[in-house]
């Protein structure tokens, strides 16, 4: 692999990492899903069930 390609791959990996604090994509998705379900439950609780 040429040096240019390696630098490009490294830049891509950095870009990939730059937008995430999570160790893997799956963890990120799972956390987003859990957070959203909690949010939805809370919203339902305060705007529908307790309102």
Of the pair 2, 48, the CB lying nearest another protein is at 48
Distance, CA of 13 to chain centre = 16
Size of site (CB under 8 A) for another protein: 28
- 8-27: contacts with another protein (CB under 8 A): 12, 15-22, 25-26
CA dihedral 37, 18, 23, 26 (to 10 degrees): 40
Q: Which residues of this protein are in contact with another protein, per CB under 8 A?
A: 12, 15-22, 25-26, 28-33, 35-37, 39-40, 43-44, 46-48, 51
């Amino acid at each position: 692999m040429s040096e240019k390609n390696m630098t490009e791959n490294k830049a891509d990996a950095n870009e990939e990492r730059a937008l995430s604090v999570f160790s893997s994509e799956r963890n990120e998705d799972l956390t987003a899903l859990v957070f959203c379900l909690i949010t939805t439950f809370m919203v339902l609780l305060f705007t529908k069930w307790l309102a």
